[in-house]
Structures are given as structure tokens and as C-alpha cells.
């Protein structure tokens, strides 16, 4: 598991439009909120994406980019964005490589069933590329506001 104050693992992933997004492109310029979620258009994931979207102008004012990550395809991401009017980039980690890199993929339990999946997690990466926040146990409701307050406090 990752910890705060260590360098964030570098990555390049494809967003909903098929564009390559890399962590390196933001270094020295923007903070990054990298949030992992289980699946597009499910209740908790929709709540989280809607809350980040509602606050996107404030994240932008705080020099922060918000990137969502799931194993859904670019096409599913596009449908989710269009249906919900989302204003965040969603990265398609169909191979699971980014989930593995950040330690968000693993055994999950829900309603007595055990399965492999993405654990709702968020990483705040400062402009220098260090992990300012590591949270492997995220509750969707109210999470975006807490992350906004955190990035507003970064130097």
C-alpha cells in the first residue's frame, strides 16, 4: 500500500476520448486528485462523480485536476459522462495495470459474496509529484468536498 509523502507512481492511461493522460504532464503545474471507483453509473460511483463535477470550478481554481479511474472502457466512460453531465476525465484502466500500481485492486466482500474488484480509493498528488493524501477506504458521499478542502490547503 502507498503512503503519504512518498512519490506517486507514474502512469499513462487513456481517458474517455482515447487521449493519453500521464501524471508527468501535470508535474510542476497542477495537483492531481486521482480517484478509483468500482464501476460507471452505479449509485455510489455516480454520487462521487456528480460531487466532483459540482465542485470542478473550485478544483480548477485550486490548480487541481480531477481524474477518475475504473476498469470500464472508453465507450462506457463516454456514456456515463454524457448521461450524467460529468466534467471530470475518466481513465479507462481495462488491463487493471493502474489499479495494481496504486494498490486498489483486490478481494472485496459485499452482501456475503466475495469477489475481485476495485476498492473506492483516492490519492491526492501535489505539484511536486508526492502523495499528499492516501485514502483506501473512501465513502462516496461528501468525499469530493473533503478532497477540495485538502487541495485548497496545499502550497
Beta strands, E only, 20-130? 20-22, 31-36, 64-70, 89-92, 105-110, 113-118, 121-125
Catalytic residue among 23, 45, 81, 140: 45
Q: Is residue 152 in a domain? A: no
Q: Are 115 and 107 in contact (CB under 8 A)?
A: yes
> What φ, ψ does residue 60 adopt, rounded to 5°?
-60, -45
Which residue range is the domain that position 43 belongs to?
A: 12-142
Tens of pLDDT along the chain (155 residues) come to 899 999 999 999 999 999 999 999 999 999 999 999 999 999 999 999 999 999 999 999 999 999 999 999 999 999 999 999 999 999 999 999 999 999 999 888 777 888 888 999 999 999 999 999 999 999 999 999 999 999 999 96
Q: Are 121 and 102 in contact (CB under 8 A)?
A: yes
Q: Looking at the 3D structure of the chain, how many domains does it have?
A: 1
Q: Is residue 151 in a domain? A: no
- Give the pTM: 0.94
Q: Is 74 part of the annotated catalytic residue set?
A: no
| pLDDT score for 26 | 98
- For residue 68, give the CATH number of its domain: 3.40.30.10
Q: Is residue 155 in a domain? A: no
Q: Is residue 3 in a domain? A: no
Q: What is the DSSP letter of 68?
A: E
Q: Is residue 1 in a domain? A: no
Q: Is residue 20 in a domain? A: yes
Q: Is residue 132 in a domain? A: yes
Amino acid at each position: 500500500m502507498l503512503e503519504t509523502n512518498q512519490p506517486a507512481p507514474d502512469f499513462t492511461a487513456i481517458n474517455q476520448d482515447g487521449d493519453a493522460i500521464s501524471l508527468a504532464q501535470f508535474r510542476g503545474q497542477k495537483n492531481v486528485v486521482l480517484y478509483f471507483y468500482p464501476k460507471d453509473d452505479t449509485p455510489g460511483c455516480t454520487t462521487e462523480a456528480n460531487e466532483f463535477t459540482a465542485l470542478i470550478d473550485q478544483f480548477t481554481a485550486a490548480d487541481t485536476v480531477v481524474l477518475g479511474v475504473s476498469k470500464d472502457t472508453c465507450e462506457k466512460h463516454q456514456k456515463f459522462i454524457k448521461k450524467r453531465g460529468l466534467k471530470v476525465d475518466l481513465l479507462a484502466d481495462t488491463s487493471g495495470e493502474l489499479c495494481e500500481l496504486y494498490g486498489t485492486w483486490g478481494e472485496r466482500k459485499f452482501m456475503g459474496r466475495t469477489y475481485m474488484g476495485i476498492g473506492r480509493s483516492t490519492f491526492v498528488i501535489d505539484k511536486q509529484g508526492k502523495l499528499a493524501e492516501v485514502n483506501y477506504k473512501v465513502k462516496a458521499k461528501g468525499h469530493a468536498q473533503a478532497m477540495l478542502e485538502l487541495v485548497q490547503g496545499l502550497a
